[in-house]
Amino acid sequence: MHPAHINDHGSISQAQFIQRVHGDWFIASSGANLLTARRDQGQAVGFVTPDLVADNAHFRYTVLECLALLLASWRDRTPIHAGAVVHAGRAALLVGSSGSGKSTLCYACARAGLGLLAEDVIYVGMRDRLRLWGNPWRIHLLPDAPQLFPELADRPAQIQANGKRKLAVDLADLGATLLHCYADRAVVCLVRRQASYASTLTPIEPHAATAALSRNLEPGFDLYSGTGVVAEMLATSGAYQLDVGSNLTGAVELLRELLGAPAGDVAHKR
């Protein structure tokens, strides 16, 4: 797997590539399939079976997008495992382990009118200035999402390219103005579920956010050497603990206030 598509719960049906990085070399293998890339040369090569090519979605996900994003990431695009919502060019990074509810919270924010940068992966560039890039067009939710969002009741869960069973939601359906491809400022919010009804947002020390962004990385995110530097830079701009209770609206309101979004910008669209 590669960082552009790491999502929360679900099983993976297809054979997955085992990835290794050594110096400027990247190598991945799955059975008779072999991928390799060279950072110093900016080149990638894949040797794949006809069966893999015939599975269009899986081939695009595990080969084409994997290698293309890897080469792009090596050239000042460090991937960070986080969702992000945006207002006025400022992003709130939602950082949490798989299953912490990042995608659910991103969708709740988007349907309430906050912009979306990405549900699960942010690419951070620092060559000229800090800039965060994302893919805001789709959010993938667990099959039980209609319990929280009734408008999704008629949308079937399907096996996605990464082998996980999810509801794929096109964010353009909520309005094109919600889609943001980049942001130039950010704060970090460590997302944690809690059993109570209320949600809370508490300032924390930057080093706690840095550790959450750069340690115990999930597969795919551990391939990049610059994660620590990027994490430290992001955390110095503001760090918070967001404990999300059963009242998602409360969590959305806290993020709205954090980003300085006027109440009129987040009126429910549904």
Residues 22-46 have pLDDT tens digits of 878 889 998 899 999 988 888 999 9
**Which residue, 239, 115, 230, is CA-closest to 172?**
115
Q: How far apart are CA 34 and CA 216, in angstroms?
A: 27
Angle (deg, nearest 10), helices 227-235 and 206-214? 150
Helix (H, G, I), strand (E, B) or coil at 31: coil
Q: How far apart are CA 155 and CA 146, in angstroms?
A: 9
Q: Where are the domains of the chain?
A: 3-78, 80-266
Average pLDDT of 242-257? 94
Average pLDDT of 109-135? 91
C-beta separation of 14 from 21 below 8 A: no
The residues near 18 (Cβ < 8 Å, ≥ 6 apart) are 28, 29, 30
Average pLDDT of 189-213? 94
Q: What does the angle CA 57 – CA 34 – CA 48 come to, to the nearest 5 degrees?
A: 50
CATH architecture of 80-266: 3-Layer(aba) Sandwich (3.40)
Q: Beta partners for 124?
A: 78, 132
For the chain, state the CA radius of gyration. Answer: 18
C-beta separation of 132 from 186 below 8 A: yes
Residue 229: what pLDDT? 87
Q: How far apart are CA 36 and CA 171, in angstroms?
A: 34
User: What is the three-state SS of 201-255?
Assistant: EEECCHHHHHHHHHCCCCCCHHHCCCHHHHHHHHHCCCEEEEEECCCHHHHHHHH
Give the rounded percent of residues in the chain with a pLDDT score beyond 70: 89
Q: Token pair for residue 34?
A: 């072999």
pTM (two decimals): 0.77
Average pLDDT of 235-258? 94
Residue with tokens 């990049």: 224
Measured over the CA atoms of residue 133, residue 139, residue 145 and residue 151, the dihedral's sign is: positive
Helix (H, G, I), strand (E, B) or coil at 136: coil
Cα separation values, 65 from 3, 77, 164, Å: 10, 14, 17
Q: Name the residue with higher pLDDT: 243 or 39.
A: 243
Lowest mean pLDDT among 43-47, 162-166, 190-194, 203-207: 162-166
Q: Token pair for residue 189?
A: 């919010």
